Amino acid sequence: MKAYLFKKITQMVVVLLGITLVVFSILHLVGDPVQLLLPPSASQENVEQLREEMGFNDPLLVQYGRFLSGIFRGDFGMSYNYNQPALSVVLERVPQTLKLAGIAFLISLVIGIPTGVLSAIKQDTVTDAVIRVLSFLGQCTPSFLLGIMMMLLFSVKLKWLPTSGNDGWKNIIMPSLTLGLFSTATIIRLLRSNMIEVMEKEFIEVARAKGLKYRLIVWKHGFKNAFSSVMTVLGMQIVSLMGGAVIIETVFAWPGIGRLAVQSIRNNDFMVTETIVILMASCFVVMNLIVDLLYAVINPRVKVQ
């Protein structure tokens, strides 16, 4: 187990380093923020001065080294746009995105699990067909479209919910529903197929033969087994929900890191963009590690491979 853990962590560090290198190169090759930060009337002299101050005259490798050593000290540089440390700009928004993604995740569990199980035990019935069509639609409807449609219905037509912004609990309902829908559909489809597979296993037959109650068979024997493999996917779902928030946060004007990422790219705010990408990537990689370890715990054969 120790060797396995060591291998995985080494892999993780290499991946993270690779990500910082890629992000850094792409951003710095695309453009020079100095030109765009200054008003049009600024002279070439002003440009040179600012470039020197920001360290953009150094070779890229030196800049990368500085960036990397900064990261280890928790210093991600200054945001050009907000004129404050990039990390604090990003961290300010993290709670908003976590809140949004967290509620979306809960929604997807609450709707996804019972519906997935229902779809499986009612296999090939009308109920199953309806659920399958809906979950298919849920996976392929662009969240942008869904968000706007919800806004038109619940805000413009019915006037139940505020359209956008972050000014109270009502504001989070539509964005979290929109965001949660995709992963709800994923959970339903995955759980359904796993559940169908499990329900055909011998031990279910045995349980049936023993005369156990159907509900008990479904939840205690069927679901429990089907869910363990869904669980590993759920871990990744949490992170991808945070990534998916980019679009939802823009549509619903939710002030989280997704919105910040879009804006920072538009403003050429390198440091903030880099910080967001690196934080998100780290979340992904760490989540992956956790999932791998969990898998190894659940299924010891994995370690051998």
Partner 1 sequence: MKRTILLCGILSIAMLTGITGCKAKTAAETSSTPTKTELVYVESTDISTMDPRNATGTVTAGILANVFSSLVKTDENGTILPDLAESWKNINDLTWEFKLHDGIKFHDGSQLTAEDVKYTIDTIKDKNNKFRLASDFSFMDVEVVNPLTLNIITDGPFPEILLRLNYVKILPKAYVEKVGNTEFAAKPIGSGPFKFVEWRKDDRVILEANQDYFGKKPIIQKATMRVIPESAARIAALESGEVDIITKVETSQISRLQGSSSYTVTSGPTTRVMYFGINTLKKGPLQDKRVRQALNYAIDKQALITGVLDNFGKQLATISTPEYRGFDPSITPYEYNPAKAKELLAAAGYPNGLNLEISTTSGFLNGSDFVQAFASQLKDVGVNATILEEDGTVRNEKIIKATISDLYFFGFGGPYSSMDNLGKNSFGTGERYSTYNNPEFDALRKGAGAAIDTNEANKLYSQLQAYIKEDAPAIFSHQQYGIYAINTRLKDWKPRTDEMIVINDAHF
Establish if 46 lies at the interface with partner 1 (CB under 8 A).
Answer: yes
| Minimum CB distance to partner 1 smaller for 1 or for 149 | 149
Whole-angstrom Cα distance, residue 269 to residue 277? 12
Per-residue contact string for residues 161-200; x = within reach of partner 1 by CB under 8 A: -xxxxxx---------------------------------
Q: How many helices (H) does the chain have, and how many strands (E)? A: 14, 0
In the region spanning residues 229 to 268, those forming contacts with partner 1, defined by CB under 8 A, are 250-253, 255, 259-260, 262-263, 266, 268
3-state secondary structure at position 85 = strand
- Which residues partner with 85 through β-bridges? 78
In this structure, which amino acid lies at residue 275?
T
Number of residues that bind partner 1 (CB under 8 A): 47
198-206 contacts, C-beta under 8 A, 24 or more apart: 198/222, 198/225, 198/226, 199/120, 199/121, 201/225
| Minimum CB distance to partner 1 smaller for 35 or for 125 | 35
Alpha-carbon 159 to chain mean position: 30
Among 12, 15, 42, 302, binds partner 1 (CB under 8 A): 42
Environment class of residue 209 by beta-carbon count within 10 Å: exposed (0-12), middle (13-18) or buried (19+)?
Answer: exposed
Considering the complex, what minimum distance in angstroms separates the CB of residue 43 from partner 1?
7
Establish if 141 lies at the interface with partner 1 (CB under 8 A).
Answer: no
| Minimum CB distance to partner 1 smaller for 21 or for 152 | 152
In this structure, which amino acid lies at residue 24?
F
- Alpha carbon separation from 171 to 62, 253, 259 (Å, rounded): 45, 10, 16
In this structure, which amino acid lies at residue 100?
L
Establish if 156 lies at the interface with partner 1 (CB under 8 A).
Answer: yes
Among 1, 17, 25, 35, binds partner 1 (CB under 8 A): 35
78-101: burial string, b at 16+ Cβ within 10 Å, e else: bbbbbeebbbebbeebeebbbbbb
Whole-angstrom Cα distance, residue 252 to residue 268? 23
Structure tokens at 234: 């759920």
Among 44, 140, 168, 211, binds partner 1 (CB under 8 A): 44
| Minimum CB distance to partner 1 smaller for 156 or for 304 | 156
Establish if 38 lies at the interface with partner 1 (CB under 8 A).
Answer: yes
Question: Judged by CB under 8 A, which stretch of 27-35, 112-120, 202-210, 222-230 contacts partner 1?
Answer: 27-35
Question: Judged by CB under 8 A, which stretch of 14-22, 24-32, 55-63, 212-220 contacts partner 1?
Answer: 24-32
Per-residue contact string for residues 264-293; x = within reach of partner 1 by CB under 8 A: --x-x-------------------------
Establish if 305 lies at the interface with partner 1 (CB under 8 A).
Answer: no
Binding site for partner 1 (CB under 8 A): 30-32, 35-44, 46-47, 53, 81-83, 92-93, 147-148, 151-152, 155-159, 162-167, 250-253, 255, 259-260, 262-263, 266, 268
